Structure 1
């Protein structure tokens, strides 16, 4: 499945959330990740985010699609993140 995660978390948790999401997804913009994951990975991501964030202070939006073909992404301006997985 193709997912997009957008988050707005307290400054003391930003790097923890960012590093956690980098394990699964591509960083595309400040506080925005996207990519293809399995059902198991999706469950791990949701569980990990619940542990890393505080519901009373933080906001995380999770979008999931059956396939990337159902999503149209347009960018105006500079691409912030490199979605290439090759190091």
Structure 2
């Protein structure tokens, strides 16, 4: 499954800054950062469950938010990109 993860973490406290780092680490374990707080994940259901659980442990629901967008198997037809930082082929080789 292809999932877009976005989050907005309140970073005015040291705890918030730590949550921001932890959220990024959780996403980087499963996908690719495409913008500062936006990640593309190409994961199986087990990986998704692990990533989702970790993110929900990290955020403070009173101050932060996280959104998940499920693009399905036809995601390549639903993603359009313009500008710098070109996308990556999640099905391609991991070594560049």
TM-score when scaled to structure 1? 0.83
Contact 1:28/1:83 (8 A) holds in 2: no
How far apart in 2 are the matches of 1:35 and 1:19? Answer: 13
Q: CA deviation at 1:4?
A: 0.4
Aligned to 1:86: 95
Structure 2: stretches of 5+ with no match in the other structure: 12-16
Aligned to 2:44: 38
How far apart in 2 are the matches of 1:18 and 1:6? Answer: 10
Structure 1: stretches of 5+ with no match in the other structure: none
Aligned to 1:66: 72
Q: CA deviation at 1:65?
A: 2.9
Q: CA deviation at 1:73?
A: 1.8
Q: CA deviation at 1:18?
A: 0.5
**Aligned pair count?**
85
Root-mean-square deviation (CA, aligned residues, Å) is 1.9
TM-score when scaled to structure 2? 0.76
